[in-house]
Amino acid sequence: MKVLLVEDESKVANFVMRGLEEEGYSVDLAEDGRIGLDLVTTRDYDIVLLDLMIPEIDGLEVLKRMRHSGIETPVLIITAKSTKEDVIKGLDTGSDDYLTKPFSFEELLARIRALLRRSRKAVPLTLEYREIVLNPYNRRLTIEGKEAELTEKEFLIMEYMMRNSERPLARKEMAEYAWQSQDDSSNIVDVYVNFLRKKIELLTEKKFIHTVRGVGYILKEDEKI
């Protein structure tokens, strides 16, 4: 699960990030509202943890712009503001839940799980491109009724390609999505794309993953790039 944490207090951010990553979540950190807004409008997240009192653009304005742009990602507001008026303002702006500082990590996890359960009911359980069906909740890839189980990194690479189908993707951005790394000098992306190709070959004779010379890869059905 991909989490965006928008928080400028380093102690809180480190506490939350360390705990979530130990639980298997992938976390991006934005230390101000401008960066947070840029990330949430250009990348896919399962949930946003949003502080209200952040620099550049405050949390309520970030939330307002998100909802105005049609982004329905669940938002859990985390803040020291705890008056009734603050709670109402946050909920009216479009937040899904509200957690006040200080809080226990166990309570944070429970709130996140509850919001994710709710959001799954409102969105499709699978990603689809042509005959390919990818299930985010059991990491299974299905083509023409045949299934393959993916490892975590294989799934993340495939998920990113399906969310950006028919668009050339640089190795650097694929590495950043799957490993939170901006180092494109390693061949790690090539290795995992090769794993995916082999698994797809066992399911169909069609070619879906193509190399884009000088760039990276593209998910596109049976066409030379």
State the pairing for strand pair 47-50/97-100: unpaired
Pinpoint the alpha helices (H) of the chain: 10-22, 33-42, 59-68, 84-93, 105-122, 152-163, 171-179, 188-201
Residue limits of CATH 3.40.50.2300 in the chain: 2-122
Predicted pLDDT at 223: 55
Predicted pLDDT at 184: 52
Predicted pLDDT at 138: 74
Predicted pLDDT at 224: 47
Which segments of the chain have a pLDDT < 70?
Answer: 81-91, 119-125, 137, 180-186, 223-225
Task: Give the CATH H-level superfamily of domain 2-122.
Answer: Response regulator (3.40.50.2300)
Predicted pLDDT at 175: 86
First and final C-alpha spacing in the chain: 31
Residue limits of CATH 1.10.10.10 in the chain: 127-219
Single pTM value for the model: 0.55
CATH number of the domain located at residue range(s) 127-219 in this protein? 1.10.10.10
Digit-coded pLDDT (tens) for 22-74: 888 899 999 999 999 999 999 989 999 999 889 999 988 999 999 888 888 99
